[in-house]
Amino acid sequence: MAKRKNLDFELSFFENLHKRIPKDVRVASILAHMYTQTGQLDAGLRLDRKLVRLTPEDPTAHYNLACSLCLKNRYTDSVRALRDAITHGYVDFHWMQHDPDLHDLQDHPDFCALLRDLKIG
């Protein structure tokens, strides 16, 4: 119960902070993560898309967008975002293959093709 109250307080805090400074990448990133962790996948996806717009060269922003898309069962879009992440410098391919957020991609043909392209699948 206390943990939930603390989480509600943190969410409220970061939501209010994000309203005041909507282009702050750190605040948006923390809030996107919190939304995803609390099952608010649509809100997390919206912020991950915003983060890609704010920081289009950031490989982590593209990677997190891929995770949000996968959690929403948007597998083809998720792989496309992973390819964008790699184009912008994402290199932790081991984690990409074991990230629980991307679990549902493991047997998807587009993901398998990506791994083959990377010569790790």
Give the pTM.
Answer: 0.93
CATH number, domain at 64?
1.25.40.10
Residues of the domain holding 65: 2-118
pLDDT-derived band at 121, boundaries 50, 70, 90: low
Q: DSSP of the chain, one letter per residue?
A: -HHHHHHHHHHHHHHHHHHHSTT-HHHHHHHHHHHHHTT-HHHHHHHHHHHHHH-TT-HHHHHHHHHHHHHTT-HHHHHHHHHHHHHTT---HHHHHH-GGGGGGTT-HHHHHHHHHHT--
Report pLDDT digits (tens) over 86-107.
Answer: 999 999 999 999 999 999 999 9
For the chain, how big is the Rg over CA atoms in Å?
Answer: 15
Report pLDDT digits (tens) over 26-62.
Answer: 999 999 999 999 999 999 999 999 999 999 999 999 9
Question: Is the pLDDT assigned to residue 69 strictly greater than 70?
Answer: yes
The region of weakest confidence among 5-9, 13-17, 90-94 is 5-9
Domain count, the chain: 1
